[in-house]
Every structure is written in structure tokens, then in C-alpha cells.
Amino acid sequence: NPGPADYSVGSPDVYMTGAPKYTMGVAIPDRKYADYPGPLTYRPESCQSHLPNIPKFTMGIKHSPYKGEFAIKYNDEF
């Protein structure tokens, strides 16, 4: 009576078609790690910009000087 360790799996090429043994594509050489910049190469203070300052973001409401007046004036008597 065989035990569970007596089970062997044969080659799948016997009952299935195998992968192609050759290719017709071009082998692309591996890229070196030196081709990619590392995290320490990023220095935002060394960037040259044509703008005078960096953008400043706010979470408030920006009031426009071109905003028109209300059609009905508010009366304090109400």
C-alpha cells in the first residue's frame, strides 16, 4: 500500500503540447540600474524656473475684484 510520499508527477509534455522551443523575436538587453535616477537625485531647490515663486495653495475662498454687485440692495430695516 503506497503512502502519500510515493506520488510522482510526470512531465506535462506527455499529455499537453509544450511551449515553443525557439522564438523569432529580438532579445532586448537588460537595462542597468544606473540608467534610473535614485531617490536622492531629486532636489527641488536646484530646479530653475521661469516663475518668480512656487505656487501657493490655499483652502479658503478667493474673492474676485471683478465680482459684480447684487441686483437688489440689502435694506437694514428687515
List the Cα angle 64/66/67 in 5-degree steps: 75
Q: Work out the pLDDT band at 64, boundaries 50, 70, 90.
A: low
Q: Mention every residue, 6+ apart, whose C-beta is less than 8 A from residue 12.
A: 18
Least confident of 6-10, 24-28, 50-54, 68-72: 68-72
Average pLDDT of the segment spanning 2-21: 74
pTM of the model: 0.18
Better-scored residue on pLDDT, 68 or 52: 52
What does the pLDDT look like over 24-56, one tens digit per residue? 777 777 766 666 777 777 777 777 777 777 777
